[in-house]
């Protein structure tokens, strides 16, 4: 276990979107800040809860757009500690304008997300989720459980940063034939023999496509009605990156026509209203996710790719390293600027 230096100053930090496990890990690795935990996600309604604090600690579905940031600035918030890598939920330009620093956890166990991606691929392929239920009901038939060998299967990785690279190494071990699309090819992977292609070529050459790029204006709905036409008929799409990379209505149509053969989602465009909550006693109002859940060849998990002990520890440790660097006025290596 890493030993962390004790802090030089204490901040009062409002932690939004807290689940039990967040509280457990943040308390365990807290250097010496005063933490107040809120279950609520940060939005315009909940922003007043940040009054009296110097920092807010946010997760993937907290909103830090211009409206929320103006309120935070008014309450004297000086720094946002993101306990995630993605920052598509933060208006960086506006944050700079109102003098709020943004610090994130750039990489926390990329293997955690890569391994979850693999779990989704194998589950969809070998239908272990169905086999589990069948056998529990005394049904030992193999009808409709046939899968395909991962060995020799063609996989396209869209984005080969930390997570894409970790998945590349795993899939290479399986004997998959891997290609990739990334505007910035990784020299180490090129030297290892990975072939980079343009997006269209990568999509049309694969039986499995896995998305590992950030959500930006450019990548918004990169999987849409048009790009789905490039897919090999019956191919598998996995998205463990950000929901809005995929146009949900378009993938539903593609699944209905059989063009898309399997879909694995750990992220969903409208996940903020659903994920991380127990809604089992309620009527789901989101018709798109309800339709997705009804397909036999769709697997949805609730943004749990990151969720391992090792990643939780790294998130907590880096969050406090960031907080300490801010308080000490040190070089903030994990600061994100516009």
Distances (CA, A) of 66 to 73, 119, 132, 273: 10, 38, 47, 20
- 213 lines the binding site for ligand NAI (CB under 6 A): yes
- 35 lines the binding site for ligand NAI (CB under 6 A): no
Radius of gyration of the chain (CA): 21
Instruction: Copy the structure tokens of residue 168.
Output: 């590349």
Instruction: Copy the structure tokens of residue 59.
Output: 């997760």
Q: Smaller CB distance to ligand NAI: residue 218 or 282?
A: 218
- 159 lines the binding site for ligand NAI (CB under 6 A): yes
Q: How far is the CB of 97 from ligand NAI (least distance, A)?
A: 24
- 163 lines the binding site for ligand NAI (CB under 6 A): yes
How far, in Å, CA of 2 to CA of 8, rounded? 18
Q: Smaller CB distance to ligand NAI: residue 50 or 244?
A: 244
* Total chain residues near ligand NAI (CB under 6 A): 29
Q: How far is the CB of 157 from ligand NAI (least distance, A)?
A: 9
DSSP string, 75-113: TT--EEEESSS--TTB-HHHHHHTT-EEE----S-HHHH
- 164 lines the binding site for ligand NAI (CB under 6 A): yes
- 123 lines the binding site for ligand NAI (CB under 6 A): no
Candidates 123, 125, 240, 314: give the one binding ligand NAI (CB under 6 A): 240
The strand order across the sheet containing 101-103 reads: 34-37, 12-15, 55-58, 79-82, 101-103
Task: Of 207, 197, 257, give the one whose Cα is nearest residue 231.
Answer: 207
Is 53:77 a contact under the CB 8 Å cutoff?
Answer: yes
- Just list the catalytic residues: 242, 271, 303
Which stretch, 68-76, 120-128, 155-163, 330-338, contacts ligand NAI (CB under 6 A)? 155-163
Q: Smaller CB distance to ligand NAI: residue 9 or 161?
A: 161
Task: Of 159, 200, 155, give the one whose Cα is nearest residue 179.
Answer: 155
Q: How far is the CB of 126 from ligand NAI (least distance, A)?
A: 22
* Residue nearest ligand NAI (C-beta atom): 161
State the chain's maximal CA–CA distance in angstroms.
Answer: 64
Query: What length is written for the chain?
Result: 338
- 83 lines the binding site for ligand NAI (CB under 6 A): no
- 325 lines the binding site for ligand NAI (CB under 6 A): no
Candidates 306, 315, 326, 327: give the one binding ligand NAI (CB under 6 A): 306
Candidates 86, 122, 130, 204: give the one binding ligand NAI (CB under 6 A): 86
Interacting residues with ligand NAI between 165 and 184 (CB under 6 A): 181-184
Is 11:55 a contact under the CB 8 Å cutoff?
Answer: yes
Q: How far is the CB of 29 from ligand NAI (least distance, A)?
A: 19
- 125 lines the binding site for ligand NAI (CB under 6 A): no
Beta-carbon neighbour count of residue 42 at 10 Å? 26
Question: Which residues of the chain form contacts with ligand NAI (CB under 6 A)?
Answer: 85-86, 107, 110, 113, 158-164, 181-184, 212-214, 218-219, 240-242, 266-267, 303, 305-306
């Amino acid at each position: 276990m890493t030993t962390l230096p004790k802090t030089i100053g204490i901040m009062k930090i409002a932690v939004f979107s807290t689940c039990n496990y967040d509280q457990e890990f943040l308390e365990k690795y807290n250097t010496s800040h005063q933490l107040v935990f809120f279950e609520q996600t940060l939005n315009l309604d909940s922003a007043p809860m940040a009054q009296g604090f110097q920092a807010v600690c946010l997760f993937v579905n907290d909103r830090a757009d211009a409206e929320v940031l103006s309120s935070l600035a008014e309450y004297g918030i000086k720094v946002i500690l993101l306990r995630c890598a993605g920052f598509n939920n933060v208006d960086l330009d506006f944050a700079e304008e109102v003098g709020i620093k943004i610090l994130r956890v750039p990489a926390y166990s990329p293997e955690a997300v890569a391994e979850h991606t693999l779990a989704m691929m194998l589950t969809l392929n070998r239908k272990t989720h169905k086999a589990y239920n069948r056998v529990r009901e005394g049904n030992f038939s193999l009808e409709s459980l046939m899968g395909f060998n991962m060995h020799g299967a063609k996989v396209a990785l869209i984005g080969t940063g930390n997570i894409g690279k970790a998945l590349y190494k795993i899939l290479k071990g399986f004997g998959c034939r891997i290609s990739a699309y990334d505007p910035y090819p990784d020299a180490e992977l090129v030297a290892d023999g990975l072939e980079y292609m343009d997006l269209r070529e990568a999509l049309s050459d694969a039986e499995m496509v896995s998305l590992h790029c950030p959500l930006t204006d450019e990548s918004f709905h990169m999987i849409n009605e048009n790009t789905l036409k490039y897919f090999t008929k019956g191919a598998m799409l996995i998205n463990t990156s950000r929901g809005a990379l995929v146009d949900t209505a378009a993938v539903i149509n593609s699944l209905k026509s059989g063009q898309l053969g399997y879909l694995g989602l750990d992220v969903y465009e409208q996940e903020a209203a659903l994920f991380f909550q127990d809604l089992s006693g309620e009527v789901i109002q989101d018709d798109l996710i309800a339709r997705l859940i009804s397909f036999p060849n769709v697997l949805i998990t609730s943004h749990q790719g990151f969720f391992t002990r090792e990643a939780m520890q790294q998130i907590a440790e880096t969050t406090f390293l960031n907080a300490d660097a801010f308080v000490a006025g040190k070089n903030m290596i994990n600061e994100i600027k516009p």
